[in-house]
Amino acid sequence: MRLYHHTLRYGDHLPSPVLVDSGLHLLHAHGRGIQVDVPAGWTTLCWAPAGQVALAIPGSEWQLDGRRMQLWTDGPLRIRSSGAQGWIAMLGSSHAWSAMSGRRRSDAATLLPWRGRPGREVAGLVCRLLRNGRQPGSRRAGDCDALLTALVDALVERQQDLQSLLARCSGRSLARQQQTLLRLLRVRHAIECNTDLRLDLEQLAAAARYSPCHLIRLHRAVFGETPSEYATRLRERQAWDMVCGSRLLICEITEMLGFESQSAFCRAFKNAFGRTTSQVRGSRAREGVRPRVAA
């Protein structure tokens, strides 16, 4: 499999027509104003080890920080530098990615949209591929293929929890089950990127191309909770982190999380955790836990 290396600097733009589908593309970008347009139907692995990078699809945009790696497989994707720090991306057609798997065809798993901590193995393999690109004279095709195969298999391993959900998805074939899971992951991604908004169920259902009732039923069957319950759980976790881990005023947290008023936020917080925000911050202060300043 051919691996194309691209080095991008301040203001560079890599449009979709430049990207050929005969192999995988490894991008190393550093500087502001860089933009890459990934074609629909391609799979992209993106990571900004020392900063943030902005990712966007039609109707949604989000920031990816260095603690997480993003694997995206759903629709066209735009990557933009959100600062001067560097970032890395690997992208290619689904066929190019699957061709690099070291698993037997019967054991091969389709990569799914995923965002999480890369772990030492995945991060190390990406960095080794990047170093190989900087030293083309010392690189052998066999070494590159072995690293790519190891990377794809490591990504599949990190997705075991997601892959195990396929058995819960409706569909008479594996392809249908994968389609169902992809639609549900699209809904969960929309919720994760908009924790400060109360997303309308009709909008979420339209994104998944299901009726609202069918979406609720499928989401509960696969994930054990409804989309609304998932959104509430994310907001509660974010509220706890902000109250415990930052010096933000409660009114600021209220606004950031999209609550109608400070009293509404405080009621919701106490109902969720059994303690008021003042009690939680007071106990953390007595324990000597110094809150982090929120970015």
Whether 66 contacts 123, CB under 8 Å: no
CATH number of the domain bearing residue 244: 1.10.10.60
Sequence-ordered alpha helix ranges (H) in the chain: 94-99, 119-134, 141-158, 160-163, 174-192, 201-208, 212-223, 227-245, 250-256, 262-273, 277-286
- pTM for the model: 0.82
* Residue 292: inside a domain: no
Total domains, the chain? 3
- The domain that holds 112 is classified in CATH as 2.60.120.280
Closest by CA position to 194, among listed 255, 244, 258:
258
Last residue of a domain, one of 138, 158, 178: 158
* 196 shares a domain with 174: yes
Q: Can you tell me whether residue 278 is helix, strand or coil?
A: helix
Domain-embedded: residue 294:
no
Give the domain extent around 238: 231-286
Whether the Cβ atoms of residue 110 and residue 178 lie closer than 8 Å to each other: yes
Listed in sequence order, the residues at least 6 apart from 64 whose beta carbon sits closer than 8 Å to its beta carbon are 46, 47, 48, 52, 53, 54, 55, 70, 115
Residues 202, 101, single domain; the answer is no
CA distance 111 to 171: 18
Q: What is the pLDDT of residues 34-66, one digit of tens each?
A: 999 999 989 999 999 988 999 999 888 899 987
Q: How do residues 218-269 score in pLDDT, each as one tens digit? A: 999 999 999 999 999 999 999 999 999 888 999 999 998 888 899 999 999 9
Asked whether residue 47 falls in the same domain as residue 142, the answer is yes
9 plus 145 within the same structural domain:
yes
**Residue 68 CA, distance from chain mean position:** 7
Q: Looking at 224, 243, 264, which one is the last position of a domain? A: 224
